Amino acid sequence: MNRKIFKAENIQLAIATIKEELGSDAMILSTRKIPKKPLDPYAKTMFAVEAALPEKSDVKIGKDHMIHGIKNDIAEIKDMISIAGFGNGMRHMVCNHVESVGVLAALLRAGVSETLAGDMIQKASGLMADVRDPDAKIKSLRKGVMRQCLHHLMTQDFFDRDRRSGVPHVAAFVGPTGVGKTTTIAKLSALLRFQKKMKIGLISIDNYRVGAFEQLKAYASIMGLLCVPAFSSQDLSSALDRMKSMDMVLIDTAGHSQFDKPKIDEILQLMRTDFKISTHLVLSVTSESTIMKDAAAAFSVFNPVTVVFTKIDETKRCGKILDQVKHIQLPVSLIANGQRVPEDLMVPDKRQLLNIILGKGSKETY
Ligand SMILES: Nc1nc2c(ncn2[C@@H]2O[C@H](COP(=O)(O)OP(=O)(O)O)[C@@H](O)[C@H]2O)c(=O)[nH]1
Ligand SMILES: [Mg+2]
């Protein structure tokens, strides 16, 4: 930066000269009145203005800083506005933990409940009481919240089984109507059959919906898989007996409303056989959180061992998954992210699941 001193009778005049000579990018560094010489007390009052033209790189860095600052401010205002739309609790949370604005807004926007988001921020804030620097505080808060998310999340690659056990693994999929049980079974059997080279058998015990068996059978025919219907527990036993040489047997069940307990009990009775059957709960993230909780409660009679979340492609609020997993305490085995069979299925690890929850999920497959 080249500095230069401009002298004039007044500051305005000096600035006009500076503009003329250095242009409008010139920066004023200092102004001062020039003291009169003792031997010339009647001389005109003069001013000295020091100015400089900043180097191009200085201007760029300065502008970049400003743009970055403005962007941050706008993001923070947006976050504040989105938090203002939530309950009083969230507004108090921001007042008490100013540094939480960004993280809190991101969690709420992703669909994590106010209770869980608030709880995680509170806990993470408690751990960074002695961090002073505001940027370090935000970083440490974000880290603390992510750590808690990972702590709440559970995943299990359930269907990658050891095939040398001699008996097929039998897995049934239960859940409300239309959540995507049949489609998920079709996707999963294709992946296990063609990628893992496993021998797969399919059984449908969905005797309620017209065409339910045909839907599964159609997928099975394309893949060249054995697929049979079962209308009673005796049927199911003999179907499982027929499939003894398989590595895995997947059972498709009828979807019933979570409020229709007698129908749910009927499936439970039908599944009473001498065979060990693991059950997997299927929930669609397009449902309200309370509906998912009701469904999880109604289908808990099956003692599911994992949960499958479907239709994540239809919502931007996958944060609900975090609330559900924490509530029902089951590991996530599969995520369905579209209607395409077999492509739209993931076997997520914790990190991938966290990315999905925070809205960074991609169409990664098996
Ligand atoms: N967008 C989307 N649609 C899905 C997904 N999984 C299933 N579906 C659709 O949801 C509808 C019901 O699926 P279906 O498997 O018959 O549900 P079921 O009654 O639980 O067996 C069908 O139109 C499927 O194509 C998914 O992950 N994303
Ligand atoms: Mg079905």
Q: What is the pLDDT of residues 191-242, one digit of tens each?
A: 999 999 999 999 999 877 767 889 999 999 999 999 999 999 999 999 999 9
Question: Does the Cβ of 284 fall within 6 Å of ligand 1?
Answer: no
Q: Is the pLDDT of residue 81 over 50?
A: yes
Q: How confident is the model at residue 107 (pLDDT cuts 50, 70, 90)?
A: very high
Sequence-distant (≥ 6) Cβ neighbours of residue 117 within 8 angstroms:
90, 104, 107, 108
- Distance (Å, rounded) from C-alpha 109 to C-alpha 163? 43
Distance 337 CA to ligand 1 centre (A): 10
Sequence letter at residue 110: A
Q: Which of 66-75, 94-103, 162-171, 340-349 has the highest mean pLDDT?
A: 340-349
pLDDT per position as a tens digit, 112-156: 999 999 999 989 888 777 777 878 888 888 899 999 999 999 999
Token representation of residue 205: 């015990």
Instruction: Report which ligand 1 atom has the smallest distance to the Cα of 206.
Output: 21
Per-residue model confidence (pLDDT) at position 363: 41
- Distance (Å, rounded) from C-alpha 53 to C-alpha 227? 80
The CB-based long-range contact list for 209-215 (8 Å cut-off, 24+ gap) reads: 209/254, 209/255, 212/182, 212/252, 212/254, 215/182
Q: Which of 58-72, 167-181, 253-267 has the highest mean pLDDT?
A: 167-181
Burial of 48 (0-12, 13-18, 19+ CB in 10 A): middle
Question: Does the Cβ of 209 fall within 6 Å of ligand 1?
Answer: no
Q: Which of 55-64, 125-134, 322-331 has the highest mean pLDDT?
A: 322-331
Distance 318 CA to ligand 2 centre (A): 23
Distance 339 CA to ligand 1 centre (A): 6
Per-residue model confidence (pLDDT) at position 211: 79
% of the chain beyond a pLDDT of 70: 95
Per-residue model confidence (pLDDT) at position 27: 84
Q: pTM of this prediction?
A: 0.80
Question: Does the Cβ of 235 fall within 6 Å of ligand 1?
Answer: no
Token representation of residue 73: 């401010």
- Distance (Å, rounded) from C-alpha 223 to C-alpha 200? 10
Q: How confident is the model at residue 59 (pLDDT cuts 50, 70, 90)?
A: low
Candidate of 308, 339, 356 to mutate for ligand 1, largest count of ligand atoms within 8 Å of Cβ: 339
Per-residue model confidence (pLDDT) at position 350: 94
% of the chain beyond a pLDDT of 90: 55
Per-residue model confidence (pLDDT) at position 58: 67
Contact 84, 91 (CB under 8 A): yes
Q: Is the pLDDT of residue 166 over 90?
A: no
pLDDT per position as a tens digit, 15-29: 889 889 888 888 888
Q: How confident is the model at residue 5 (pLDDT cuts 50, 70, 90)?
A: very high
Question: Does the Cβ of 255 fall within 6 Å of ligand 1?
Answer: yes
Alpha helices in 195-228 (DSSP H): 212-223
Q: Give 56 or 104, the one with higher predicted confidence.
A: 104
